[in-house]
Structure 1
């Protein structure tokens, strides 16, 4: 009996359980029920574990319908899978869309089967799986099923033939094999079943079911191998049961193996923090609170992060610390924590220190992190690595397991209010060489309250950048003022290396100074300061620390929580001035060939890529992009305390970046100037220029220095400058 009614018939369809007996059908539904029950219990148990994690620091389930809709868009479009990897994006899209299509198709069959049972009980057997709906169903499932198998074939090629590096690591195990091979067997097995059914019908193959083009091609292939209709009908039940049992095994295994990422990853995207990394969770004012003394200290979201990891290695492939030979692999930190937690849940036994020499995570691993956020930007499932890394760094600080150089920095900040350990009264001395005065914002109302920062105030090379920016403000006739000796360190990087209470003390002290001034906008030289003022200070409940005798500030509640005070990086402020014509640049002043480095805290942290580029173009320079630019920028190595630590590296990140500028950029060795917009980047690249042997090849300049040179080149009158000197774009020799 042919399984398909002739296509000319109005009620074209096919038999669902072809050649499967009634007893086998009952066994099928019994096993299906068992598989679903095992799946449901396992899924409940996995999600129930998160309740054992600590509360997260903010509500991640607010506006849940909106969160789910946004997550569905992110996951359904595969937009993050295409980030830096077109082939990988297409592969995952084919697998995801194919899997969902086949899941929906199976659900439709289930609904129609029980719809038939119900209508038979009512005396009028009916089915909606007929006619045009049936034909459309067959066409769509064949098309998307083919994409599914194609995607899995690419995955198998990349993992086992090409052996893509990032897909393999210390946590690669049987789960990875099970996921890819079981799905491939299900997809390919489904087409084999379809081919056997079409061939076994005994009809002329091309006329049986032409909309099932993959199944028809499979039937033709089987016939070409000598399989006839009788053989196909004989083999079909065995193939059908093999396919069904594999499907049941896969469903039951989902909560217990890597396939669980299909659920945990979506949940992770739903509960994501859109400002993750740019802002960090605070700590309780209670001094007895712990950070990472045990796995129980981790929040439920951090536990979900661990389960959501798919081991794809995208974070590992973009990590500058790993590329430099430092002992950090972001994926392994997340998975090491997961493996330790699961071993305790499974076996109990002795606990280990979470982060320490010889702990679950080694101390040197966390010292290696640059807080550049490249791992988070690359992660397709929104794992918030930096949140967990900061928790681990806080634990290291609590334990006193930090480098002496970092302890010196902390001491300098505590006693002098700056990371250099210099006198606060010397903070404004960089202005002495200017031909004009920079206003004291404590004494006069200004438009811009300019937070200069530690490096532009105390470091000789960066003082030149500060003076260049002062000249730009003066040329634009902007009312700008600074805090002089009442300016203190903003605390951004000491927070990221784990010293939270010192961060809060600095923040409160600085806000006291802000509130004593009259201004419209805060402008920052350093992207690190810009980020912490914009995203982190408003999150701190300063009042919670009011009783702490170490916190000598008088801030009530939060600061700027409603965003009334605008916070700009200086390139954003000056771009507005250039756009308003207040600097008189016409874009013809300079003819240098340059490249630009995106600072992590301006780019990935705050999505500002165009303001510095617009300013560079405004000078007339020919800008050539490095291959890794914008969100894919490669960190200078100075973030996360890297500027203050001695680390073993195969090659400094700054040296690799300068090599990229001169060898991988389209302009190649014609690049004359490497342009930065961050004082820490300036420091790291001046060092890398010397240690990497690039001194004769390229010059490191700040965007502000280029602007001043352009202003002087394009103006008949000299730009207000320095006493006894002209422009200072030449690199420092010290």
Structure 2
């Protein structure tokens, strides 16, 4: 009778738990389907490689070695323990059941016990990091602690169930089940009947905990167990530095950008349920670090809750209702039409303004630190830019400084509004060197795209002049567009003005084609990124080089010989758009290491972990009104090393670091130089 009751209860409770789990997962999938169809590229090999690398290889998680190892133990531990968990469940119906694998079962038991012990250690370490070490990026309280309680109960109940089984059955092999056998010895005073009672008590504790956790998963951050692998598989495989374009010729489009949660693409909405809430993104975000309201993790969480609550308010559909699971469109069931009518009369919170503030959107430097750190391949930057596009193109709501920037770009094709006919004035100091325009030469190998910073900014003009001297020294045939050059439009695009970007893009490409440009070199990583990764979509057919790439190739070919000693201690700063966007880390360092006398110093945050200077995403042209200035924070990180030079490879970065050095009253001791200027001194 007991066996029958036990089995019936097991079927009822397990079936109901699985049903609730399926209903909740289905509801999340339904919410995701509210988004716009993604139309992803069918890069099967790339996607499989991403899954192997970041899901099974846990590459991103291991960026933080301590928590990475902890999660690897949990990830593979629970995969291994599923085989033992199923065996334990069967033991509740078949006394002393073991998988029929002969003597191999001894080793199976040993692996299960060792794995359970390692998972228990990992769970305790998770508790330590969250509640004792109290890492800032980790949330505390009951909700985050529930998972630790669940996991602790699972691993402890495994050991206790097996230990009481040893007492009940009267058999144990201490060599292959050392921990449960040891606990069984401590329970040695119990008889077989008491052992049976203890077995079923902990068997049910294990089962109820397992099923409760199953139902809890889709409703918590642990939904990432389901959605993170899908997110990695379904992410955009476009170049990291490429944004999605808007089609301004499509007359059916009524608004541009994304102003409601349903306006995001479906693969973007998967991000929301894939989020682990680990806080790594926020921990690395320059805006968050310096006291701005933006937190990439909170941005995702708020959007996730908004998506869940928005659809739940409309449907009011309980997961207990069978129609919720099987109806083709649960948001339009006959049971809910009255609810929809009532809900429609209430004012719903707006995505931009109520859920995500404009201050958050305009704090982002688009540096991609958040995305680089995210272990589940979430993409924060494109969502922020999509919402910026809505503010700029649909609502016309932009900060005053941004509006002035757009006007100057439209009128004079530079951020300052300086007369475009002065674009070539930077050549005046190059007395003995010719800088020809494309009209003045019959042929050239490289088009030197000077950019607005190199053309108009006094400090950046020195970078352009140094680079010209280097190319002249190496015998490079080059030319410039002169007054026909336009802004690349990169910053306008990341500030949300896609229309202005496409206008400038097409004007530049028209000039490139007119003069049969085959190779382009630029001193600006932002221009480099947009030419290399974004312009090809609009018709650019040319090789694109950053000036450090060209300089390094000239050194390798022996066309540049760096003989002169440059006795400087250089703290090198990685530009986000060369580094995280285009994975160029070694070339600038190799150049500096070739120069006699240079001592290359690495900041605590370097390479892919380097902190942004604060200029990207249009922040170069916006006043920081919250918290500490980002460039000052980054400058302080450099000054800790006591360098004589802060080195860079980007006019934006150099300008920001130069301002930071002045604000720290260190400009008499520390210089800020571009790599071109350092190389020129070594020639």
TM-based fold match above 0.5: yes
Q: Are 1:233 and 2:196 matched, yes or no? A: yes
Q: Are 1:138 and 2:104 matched, yes or no? A: no
Native 8 Å contact 2:259 2:387 kept in 1: no
Runs of at least 5 residues in structure 2 that lack an aligned partner in the other structure: 315-345
Once the two structures are superposed, the pairs formed by residues 327-726 of structure 1 within 5 Å of their partners are 327-348=293-314, 349-356=346-353, 359-398=354-393, 399-434=395-430, 435-442=432-439, 443-540=441-538, 558-560=539-541, 565-586=542-563, 589-620=565-596, 621-663=598-640, 668-669=641-642, 671-711=643-683
Q: Are 1:194 and 2:155 matched, yes or no? A: no
Count of paired positions:
644
Q: What's the CA shift for 1:609?
A: 0.5
1:28 alignment partner in structure 2: 10
Per-residue deviation, residues 37-72 of structure 1 (Å, max 9, x unmatched): 33233323322322211122x415x24476245313
Per-residue deviation, residues 522-571 of structure 1 (Å, max 9, x unmatched): 1111000000011111234xxxxxxxxxxxxxxxxx333xxxx2211110
Q: Are 1:219 and 2:198 matched, yes or no? A: no
Per-residue deviation, residues 231-265 of structure 1 (Å, max 9, x unmatched): 44332211111211121222233323333210111
Greater CA drift, 443-452 or 36-45: 36-45
Native 8 Å contact 2:467 2:676 kept in 1: yes
Cα 1:221–1:689, aligned 2, differ >3 Å: closer, same or farther? farther
Per-residue deviation, residues 170-227 of structure 1 (Å, max 9, x unmatched): xx76542322221221112111212222244445xxx63421223223334555xx76
Native 8 Å contact 2:92 2:200 kept in 1: no
Q: What's the CA shift for 1:229?
A: 6.0
Secondary structure of 1:263's partner?
helix
Q: Are 1:315 and 2:292 matched, yes or no? A: no
1:324 alignment partner in structure 2: 290
Q: Are 1:51 and 2:22 matched, yes or no? A: no
Cα 1:39–1:65, aligned 2, differ >3 Å: closer, same or farther? farther
Q: Are 1:298 and 2:264 matched, yes or no? A: yes
Cα 1:30–1:467, aligned 2, differ >3 Å: closer, same or farther? same
Q: What's the CA shift for 1:293?
A: 2.5
TM-score by length of 1: 0.83
Distance in 2 between residues matched to 1:20 and 1:65, nearest whole Å: 53
Native 8 Å contact 1:412 1:421 kept in 2: yes
Q: What's the CA shift for 1:36?
A: 2.4
Distance in 2 between residues matched to 1:423 and 1:454, nearest whole Å: 12
Distance in 2 between residues matched to 1:66 and 1:140, nearest whole Å: 34
User: CA RMSD of the aligned region, Å?
Assistant: 2.4
The equivalent position to 2:229 in structure 1, one of 266, 269, 273, is 266
Secondary structure of 2:212's partner?
helix
Secondary structure of 2:617's partner?
coil
TM-score by length of 2: 0.89
1:40 alignment partner in structure 2: 22
1:279 alignment partner in structure 2: 242
Runs of at least 5 residues in structure 1 that lack an aligned partner in the other structure: 1-18, 117-125, 541-557, 712-734
Native 8 Å contact 1:102 1:141 kept in 2: yes
Native 8 Å contact 2:87 2:98 kept in 1: no
